Amino acid sequence: MRLSHTRTRSRADSASGSRRQRGESVSSGSAATAAGVYAALVDSNDDDEPAPSSSSSKPKARAMSPIARKVHARRVSSSTSRRFLTTPKRGATTTPQSPPAWVPPFARRLLRPARPRRLLLLLVVVATLLLLHWLGDDGLLDHVSTQPFRWLAPPEPPCRFVSPVEAYFADLARLRGIYGNASATTTTAGAEALRSAAAAQHKHSHHVFSSTGHMVVSKDESAPHPIPLLLALGERRWEELLARQSRTLAEATMEYERRYGRVPPKGFDLWWAFASENQLVLPDEYDRINLDLAPFWALPRKEVRRRLAKVMKMNEVFVLEIKNGRVRPRIEDKGGLAWEGTWPRAKAAVKLVRSFAHHLPDLNATFSIFDQPQIYLSWGRRSSLASLGLKGQHTSLLDEEDNGNVELGRSCPPDSALRTNPTGYEGKSFIYNSLEAGDFCHNPYIVPLHGLTLEAHTPESHPRPHSQLLPLFSLAKTSINSDILVTPLDQFADRTGRDPVWEKKSDARLVWRGSPTGMAEMTRDVPWRQSHRVRLHHFANNHSLGLTSFMVPDLGHGHEQEHAHANGHYGQLRQNVPPLGYRTENGSAWGVGNYFFDMALAGQPIQCDEDDGTCDDMEREIKFARFQRSTVMNKHKFLLDIDGNGWSGRFRRLMSTNSVVIKSGIFTEWFQPHLIPWFMYIPSKLDFSDLTDILAFFRGSPKQPDLMFDGTAKALAHNGKCFVERMFRLEDLQAYMFRLFLEYARIVADDDEDMDFHYDPLLHDPVDQDVSGENGDDEDDEAERVDRVPFLGAEDVLGGGEAPPRTTATSEQHHTAPSRTPRPLGGQNGKVTTTGPNTPPGEGARRGPESSAGSVRLPTTTAADAEATTDPEGDHIIPFDQAMAELEQPPSHASASASALAHDPTTASAQRRPQVTDSDDAEEDDDFM
């Protein structure tokens, strides 16, 4: 061992000397010694291995012991680290040396000396990017105070719906304070006297609520402005819809049996547990599923399975196979994969079903790959099957002709307007019920305005239509289709992008960009110029100098008597506040369009025939704009959503912004019973005749730009965003599909299999849950009540009546919370059912067997009941000013808010809701639907 050390040292000294001769510097003798030891260890061999041949006459060094080898290895590691990490002395010349092989690549890059200029440049680039990000749409201070430290902030409280009616009255008071109005000081007694005196003389000054889903505007100029009445109606519908929801499994079971006349499907208790865990806001509103599956109840289960086997062999479909609690997609038609959207949609369907597949029996479900519906039954066959199915009876006629040729009139009732008066026109109107307004059987003006109803549907079409009832799941349908509607995930995860708050949105025009979709294929044989998106482009970009007229608000200067006449029929929305009137304003089409709209087709001609010149015609006639990024569109206060080939996939992203969404279309969507018009969004007619009237109310007119109800629009935008955060989550889509598949499993099950749910209080509810506030929860429930100046509900707005008493959280009088046991109105969407010539008709009143299951009408909820209803979920409306004050609190108060919400059951829901990011600057992704 001594000899080995001696030779090692001499070898190290010689190596050190050679390095000095080459001009290299050695940091210390110990480092040289360690390097020499490392070289000796490398050159040494074990005793049992032959020594390599060498011409040198030096004796062979003996092998080191394991302990000595470890000691020298540590010395080598230490000296190597010092050699690369220590700074050489001044004046010493060094040659860059590469790190040893055991150093990872990323560490080698870090050990390399950084050049000062490169480091400074990198710091400047990073600082510039951060500055540009902070100087975004919301300003530097907003981002500095919230964005970098968002992860430190406590969880945000759940979004609370606000009162658009309250915001309207605040706007009205502000405007009348600016412009002045003597009639605003009218006393309650005086207004009541004027109203009673004029009631009999002005019976025809009211607007009419048609069964077509439209409010027909009165031609009497003394009638009040229709939009405040629509706002009151939408708010009232929301309160009544909430008041009738079930809170327990027992109530949900009872409500199911009352609505549909049968017991719930097997697994209903599991669905209710899922709904309760994810805090569904409206757990009873799933009438769409019952309507879609009603015709299948008239078919024997064996016949349903036979038709299922047939539809599984169709082209351009994919099948979800659920077996042993696992789900997987199956595509038999390989040609369907030629379209790039087939496989993503199949995977999206699997994603939705996977969360509850272990609760389902083995079954197969067939999905269409298309955006459009495919099942067009005749009205006679459809109504017959639905009527028998709702009664629990089977049809004896099992053979149906499936020729693939569609005539829209065959799918409409014989007494419908499309078959009796296709050119009828109700007059100027606004939509108050989007479901009925999209039914073109009773609104024939839609047929020549939408691409789906303009193009021919033949056996050669894509998708191929069917006139036979088939268990086919589709992503879109209209009022006449018999497809089974499902929840699409297309564009569900699209990012909102950087979205300024309402006050910092710089553009008050209505914005839209989209591709020229809407028809499967545009040729010279079809009137593609009348399709909805092409018409929208020309409507918004009309450069004509001809005059156009639209409705604008009138504060009522010198028209106290006329307002009193209007009050004679409608009553006042609020005591001491005369209703808002309206008048007509004229302007050139070019000037009005530039003031109100920023809408255009974008991109290039698509879905057109190049051979017959249709694409060239589109290129020549349409001035295509560029697509806009979402961050640019979010600067607008008003966003338009319109159908494409099918439903609009971008709707959820638009509703996630701080802007108001105006929606136009004819397709039925899964969330439609939950989405309340004039409370969460603004519906618009497909002929666009109401767009200028709507915008003139909310943003002002070219002649009076300051006469705008801006706060009211802000309240609608806020409620739309709350709808997405609380009712358009992934859990809401899964809840819909879960319940749909439970119902579907009962239809396709074997004949001898019991697929019903039988409620047992001892088994399913061993401990009764108190929902009436008798266990010391009165204070919490009282705090959730609506605290606002009372507004008139549907009965008062439309038929007169006294204003309800005000209910506040500090009322001395004890209010007993009404039971949340379901008390639904007739129909699906919580529409009021008061009678009268100017009252909105009960939904489904003329739809015959399709709605007969929900035809039982119980007493409606009074205004006082609606305001006194407890709401532990926080879904009832809070005052607009209070909600805005809560949202605008500085971050320093967040900790106090978090402690106050520590016991709130909605906190968990707020933590689970989707988070909106600010990093999306991609181009507007057109839905192509």
Report the pLDDT averaged over residues 219-227: 88
Residue 689 and residue 445: Cα distance in Å, rounded?
A: 12
| Band of pLDDT at residue 391, cut at 50, 70 and 90 | confident
Residue 876 and residue 785: Cα distance in Å, rounded?
A: 7
Report the pLDDT averaged over residues 717-722: 96
Residue 301 and residue 483: Cα distance in Å, rounded?
A: 18
Residue 663 domain-assigned (yes or no): yes
Res 677 pLDDT > 80: yes
pLDDT of residue 92: 52
Cα–chain center distance at 143:
25
Q: Provide the token pair at 871.
A: 């709401």
Residue 820 domain-assigned (yes or no): yes
Q: Please indicate, yes or no, whether residues 646 and 786 belong to a single structural domain of this protein.
A: yes
Res 331 pLDDT > 70: yes
Residue 352 domain-assigned (yes or no): no
| Tokens 């389902």 sit on residue | 360
pLDDT of residue 32: 45
Res 269 pLDDT > 80: yes
Q: Provide the token pair at 362.
A: 């083995």
Res 664 pLDDT > 80: yes
- The residue that leads in pLDDT, 391 or 769, is 391
Which of 166-175, 591-600, 777-786 is the least confident region? 777-786
Residue 109 domain-assigned (yes or no): no
Residue 455 and residue 201: Cα distance in Å, rounded?
A: 50
Residue 688 domain-assigned (yes or no): yes
**Could you count the other beta carbons within 10 Å of the beta carbon of residue 739?**
22
Cα–chain center distance at 277:
20
Position 100, amino acid: P
| Tokens 């997405």 sit on residue | 724
| Tokens 């050695």 sit on residue | 26
Q: How confident is the prediction for the chain on average, in pLDDT?
A: 74
| Tokens 């010198």 sit on residue | 558
Q: Provide the token pair at 239.
A: 């309160």
Which of 524-538, 566-580, 832-846 is the least confident region? 832-846
Residue 850 and residue 828: Cα distance in Å, rounded?
A: 11
Residue 664 β-bridge partners: 642
Closest CA to 453 of 441, 468, 464, 467: 441
| Band of pLDDT at residue 796, cut at 50, 70 and 90 | very low
Cα–chain center distance at 822:
26
Q: pLDDT digit string (tens) for 801-842?
A: 333 332 222 233 333 333 333 333 333 333 333 334 444 554
Q: What does the DSSP 8-state code read for residue 423?
A: T
Report the pLDDT averaged over residues 135-140: 45
pTM over 0.75: no
Residue 66 and residue 68: Cα distance in Å, rounded?
A: 6
Report the pLDDT averaged over residues 792-809: 32
- The residue that leads in pLDDT, 291 or 220, is 291
Q: pLDDT digit string (tens) for 435-448?
A: 999 999 999 999 99
Asked if 740 and 748 touch (Cβ cutoff 8 Å), the reply is no
What is the percent of the chain with per-residue pLDDT over 90, rounded to a whole number? Answer: 50
pLDDT of residue 684: 97
Closest CA to 563 of 545, 537, 550, 582: 582
Residue 672 domain-assigned (yes or no): yes
Residue 188 domain-assigned (yes or no): yes
pLDDT of residue 215: 95
Res 403 pLDDT > 60: yes
SS3 content of the chain, % helix, strand, coil (to 5): 40, 10, 50
Q: Determine which helix (DSSP H) or strand (DSSP E) holds 321, and give its type and residue range.
A: strand 317-323
Q: Please indicate, yes or no, whether residues 74 and 186 belong to a single structural domain of this protein.
A: no
Asked if 231 and 237 touch (Cβ cutoff 8 Å), the reply is no
Q: How many residues belong to the chain?
A: 929
Q: Please indicate, yes or no, whether residues 74 and 182 belong to a single structural domain of this protein.
A: no
Q: Please indicate, yes or no, whether residues 280 and 382 belong to a single structural domain of this protein.
A: yes
Residue 591 and residue 576: Cα distance in Å, rounded?
A: 38
Q: Please indicate, yes or no, whether residues 65 and 194 belong to a single structural domain of this protein.
A: no
Structurally, the chain folds into a number of domains equal to: 2
Closest CA to 633 of 926, 928, 929: 926
- The residue that leads in pLDDT, 312 or 20, is 312
Asked if 37 and 64 touch (Cβ cutoff 8 Å), the reply is no
Residue 781 and residue 37: Cα distance in Å, rounded?
A: 81
Backbone angles phi, psi at 204, to 5 degrees: -110, 20
pLDDT of residue 29: 46
- Three-state secondary structure along 763-793? HHCCCCCCCCCCCCCHHHHHHCCCCCCCCCC
Report the pLDDT averaged over residues 650-676: 95
- The residue that leads in pLDDT, 65 or 402, is 402
Residue 868 and residue 808: Cα distance in Å, rounded?
A: 9
| Tokens 């109310």 sit on residue | 697
List of E strands, 504-557: 507-514, 547-554
Res 651 pLDDT > 70: yes
Residue 662 β-bridge partners: 640, 682
| Band of pLDDT at residue 122, cut at 50, 70 and 90 | confident
| Tokens 């092989």 sit on residue | 101
Q: Please indicate, yes or no, whether residues 206 and 74 belong to a single structural domain of this protein.
A: no
Q: Please indicate, yes or no, whether residues 72 and 192 belong to a single structural domain of this protein.
A: no
Q: Please indicate, yes or no, whether residues 169 and 77 belong to a single structural domain of this protein.
A: no
Q: pLDDT digit string (tens) for 102-120?
A: 767 766 665 566 567 777 8
DSSP string, 343-368: HHHHHHHHHHHHTTGGGS-SEEEEEE
Cα–Cα distances in angstroms (integers) from residue 716 to residues 160, 707, 737, in the given order: 12, 18, 28
Res 736 pLDDT > 90: yes
Which of 248-257, 745-754, 761-770 is the least confident region? 761-770
Structural domain for 6, as ranges: 1-48+60-82
Q: Please indicate, yes or no, whether residues 183 and 66 belong to a single structural domain of this protein.
A: no
| Band of pLDDT at residue 211, cut at 50, 70 and 90 | very high
pLDDT of residue 93: 52
Res 205 pLDDT > 70: no
Dihedral sign, Cα of residue 885, residue 887, residue 891, residue 894:
positive
Closest CA to 637 of 513, 497, 536, 502: 502
Residue 677 and residue 544: Cα distance in Å, rounded?
A: 33
Res 773 pLDDT > 60: no
Q: Provide the token pair at 179.
A: 């412009």
Q: Please indicate, yes or no, whether residues 682 and 825 belong to a single structural domain of this protein.
A: yes
Residue 151 domain-assigned (yes or no): no
Q: Please indicate, yes or no, whether residues 66 and 184 belong to a single structural domain of this protein.
A: no
Q: Please indicate, yes or no, whether residues 78 and 183 belong to a single structural domain of this protein.
A: no
Residue 80 and residue 32: Cα distance in Å, rounded?
A: 10
Res 382 pLDDT > 70: yes
| Band of pLDDT at residue 682, cut at 50, 70 and 90 | very high
Asked if 143 and 134 touch (Cβ cutoff 8 Å), the reply is yes
Res 878 pLDDT > 60: no
Report the pLDDT averaged over residues 75-85: 52
Residue 756 and residue 658: Cα distance in Å, rounded?
A: 44
Which of 109-118, 221-230, 361-370 is the least confident region? 109-118
pLDDT of residue 813: 32
Q: pLDDT digit string (tens) for 571-630?
A: 445 556 788 999 999 999 999 999 999 999 999 999 999 999 999 999 999 999 999 999
| Band of pLDDT at residue 98, cut at 50, 70 and 90 | low
H-only helix segments in 700-776: 710-727, 730-748, 761-764
